[in-house]
């Protein structure tokens, strides 16, 4: 397809001015907080985290294949920088694979975007790459596309050669965005002001939007991961927010439902390795209510967060955690088993999780595996308010000890562990009663609410019909492995007035 043929194809650009409600979530190089940037995994995660569009960096290889890659160079086997344009697509992929990552061809990104229904924010690093990428997008009949340019000359080139898609001009901090736009005729202004202080949103004042409206410009912002800034941006007339964490933008799209509260089993364990700081942070950044963690104690008395008794499954170590001193755990990876992106992730100390929870205003469900219950509960309650935490253990003695020695500690009981509901309630005066997908029933839920108890259903599957059935029971809480799927089902059920 030639440039002349491209110029004859009509793409409706008006959609950039038709955004009537909230800003688009534009995943910056995919969900690059949770996967290597510009990879298919990062783009797939972006979709799962609610992104509307994916920002994709494009370069051209020596055999003229557009690939998703940001940097101008790639290190070879000897650690020397090689220009992407001097490498074939296959050679570039071979070099990347040695670092346990991928360099997808743009054709694969387009195909995945089609499956996911995602738009593309194209950041082509050179004119030839832009030309070929635009041809591919047109051939795939994609219409929700923005083409970004880092310079006035590149933006002008795109427009003068008939780019059928809206052109966005990226503007650095300190530059006058409107004089630059006037010099090229871009459709969108994209201030890259993420480093312009703690509150760059305040630079987008009334005068800024007055000038943008005068020029009929849409506005896309820098990549943003600060919750207070994202919340402020939602009150502004902007088209989209770039972000490494698209779930943070998605979380601001309307009020979260009051019920059920979502408990993320071992954190957002499909996004990041279970029981790690990254998994907990991902859950709370997405706006979920609780993170479930498992607590064990080292030989020298440190409280650690790990599910298994031994280290083999989720760390690079061997043996039992209880037999190790904390110094022996310091250099272990708790994430390389999950993805090379997380190879530097460590087994967190309980104190680290508590600090993060306090900063994020996050709730905790603490499962006592092999740790002193009183010591653990006191550590937790010294950092977090009692109404944001509850405890449970397979060891009933632990719960009885907490009930008698730390009465302010909220406890959970599993309905399946007791012959009758009354025995479950009275066993150790539990505040939360957990059911499973088989024994959950509306009658007992009603009784528990009359007694001032919270109901929780644990379901770690992904069957949507099961999730919908459980939602119709209206539990107070759901303990799940895929909180993002559950959130989508809640939204669908609310829309259908099946869940209110």
DSSP state letters, 132-169 = HHHHHHHHTT--SEEEEESSHHHHHHHHHTT--S-EEE
pLDDT in tens, 2-44: 555 554 556 788 899 876 678 999 999 999 999 999 999 999 9
Q: What is the pLDDT of residue 254?
A: 56
pLDDT in tens, 254-288: 555 557 999 999 999 999 999 999 999 999 999 99
C-alpha dihedral over 315, 463, 118, 57, to 10 degrees? Answer: 10
As a whole number, mean pLDDT of residues 416-445 equals: 95
Q: Are residues 32 and 95 in the same domain?
A: yes
CB of 437 within 8 A of CB of 465? no
pLDDT in tens, 149-187: 999 999 999 999 999 999 999 999 999 999 999 999 999
pLDDT in tens, 474-496: 999 999 999 999 998 988 877 66
In a domain, 328, yes or no: yes
**How far out from the chain centre does Cα 321 lie?**
30
pLDDT in tens, 344-384: 999 999 999 999 999 999 999 999 999 999 999 999 999 99
Phi and psi (nearest 5°) for 119? -85, 165
Q: Which residue among 190, 220, 251 closes a domain?
A: 251
Residue 171 corresponds to which tokens in the numbers above?
């503007």
Q: Are residues 289 and 214 in the same domain?
A: no
pLDDT in tens, 179-209: 999 999 999 999 999 999 999 999 999 999 9
Q: Are residues 139 and 214 in the same domain?
A: yes
% pLDDT > 90, the chain: 88
CATH number of the domain encompassing residue 63: 3.20.20.190
In a domain, 398, yes or no: yes
Q: Are residues 357 and 398 in the same domain?
A: yes
Q: Are residues 242 and 267 in the same domain?
A: no
Number of domains in the chain: 2
Task: Quote the domain boundaries for residue 424.
Answer: 261-495
Q: Are residues 275 and 177 in the same domain?
A: no
Q: Which residue among 251, 283, 314 closes a domain?
A: 251
In a domain, 256, yes or no: no
Q: Are residues 479 and 430 in the same domain?
A: yes
Q: Are residues 21 and 146 in the same domain?
A: yes
In a domain, 500, yes or no: no
Q: Are residues 343 and 365 in the same domain?
A: yes
Q: Are residues 88 and 225 in the same domain?
A: yes
Specify the higher pLDDT residue, 88 or 22. Answer: 88
Q: What is the pLDDT of residue 492?
A: 83
Q: Which residue among 187, 218, 251 closes a domain?
A: 251
Half-sphere exposure of 360 (CA within 13 A, CB side): 24
């Amino acid at each position: 397809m030639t440039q002349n043929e491209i110029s004859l194809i009509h793409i409706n650009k008006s959609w950039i001015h038709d955004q009537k409600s909230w800003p688009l979530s534009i995943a910056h190089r995919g969900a690059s907080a949770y996967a290597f940037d510009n990879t298919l995994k990062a783009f797939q995660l972006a979709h799962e985290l609610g992104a509307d569009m994916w920002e994709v960096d494009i370069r051209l290889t020596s055999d003229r294949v557009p690939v998703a890659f940001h940097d101008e160079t790639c290190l070879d086997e000897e650690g020397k920088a090689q220009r992407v344009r001097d490498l074939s697509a296959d050679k570039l992929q071979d070099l990347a694979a040695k670092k346990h990552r991928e360099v997808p061809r743009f054709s694969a990104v387009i195909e995945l975007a089609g499956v996911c229904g995602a738009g593309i924010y194209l950041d082509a690093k050179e004119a030839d790459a832009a030309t070929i990428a635009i041809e591919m997008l047109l051939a795939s009949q994609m219409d929700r596309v923005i083409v970004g340019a880092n310079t006035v000359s590149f933006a002008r080139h795109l427009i003068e050669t008939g780019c059928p898609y809206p052109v966005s001009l990226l503007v650095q901090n300190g530059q006058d965005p409107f004089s630059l736009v006037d010099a090229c005729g871009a459709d969108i202004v994209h201030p890259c002001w993420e480093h312009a202080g703690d509150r760059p949103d305040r630079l987008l004042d009334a005068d800024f939007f007055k000038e943008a409206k005068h020029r009929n410009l849409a506005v896309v912002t820098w990549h943003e991961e600060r919750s207070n800034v994202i919340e402020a941006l939602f009150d502004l007339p902007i088209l989209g927010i770039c972000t490494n964490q698209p779930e943070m933008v998605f979380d601001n799209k309307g009020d979260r439902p009051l019920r059920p509260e979502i408990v993320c089993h071992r954190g957002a364990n499909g996004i990041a390795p279970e029981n790690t700081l990254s998994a907990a942070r991902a859950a709370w950044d997405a706006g979920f209510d609780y993170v479930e963690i498992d607590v064990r104690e080292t030989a020298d008395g440190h409280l650690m967060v790990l599910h298994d008794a031994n280290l083999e499954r989720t760390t690079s170590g061997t043996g039992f955690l209880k037999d190790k001193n904390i110094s022996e755990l310091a250099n272990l990876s708790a994430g390389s088993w999950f993805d090379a992106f997380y190879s530097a992730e460590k087994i967190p100390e309980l104190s680290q999780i508590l600090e993060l929870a306090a900063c994020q205003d996050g709730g905790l469900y603490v499962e006592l595996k092999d740790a002193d219950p009183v010591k653990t509960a006191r550590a937790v309650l010294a950092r977090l308010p009692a109404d944001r935490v509850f405890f449970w253990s397979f060891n009933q003695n632990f719960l009885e000890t907490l009930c008698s020695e730390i009465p302010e500690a909220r406890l959970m009981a599993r309905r399946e562990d007791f012959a009758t509901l009354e025995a479950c309630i009275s066993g150790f005066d539990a505040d939360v009663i957990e059911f499973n997908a088989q024994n959950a029933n509306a009658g007992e839920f009603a009784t528990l609410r009359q007694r001032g108890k919270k109901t929780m259903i644990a379901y770690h599957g992904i069957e949507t019909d099961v999730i919908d059935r459980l939602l119709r029971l209206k539990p107070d809480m759901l303990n799940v492995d895929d909180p993002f799927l559950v959130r989508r089902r809640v939204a669908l059920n609310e829309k259908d007035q099946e869940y209110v």
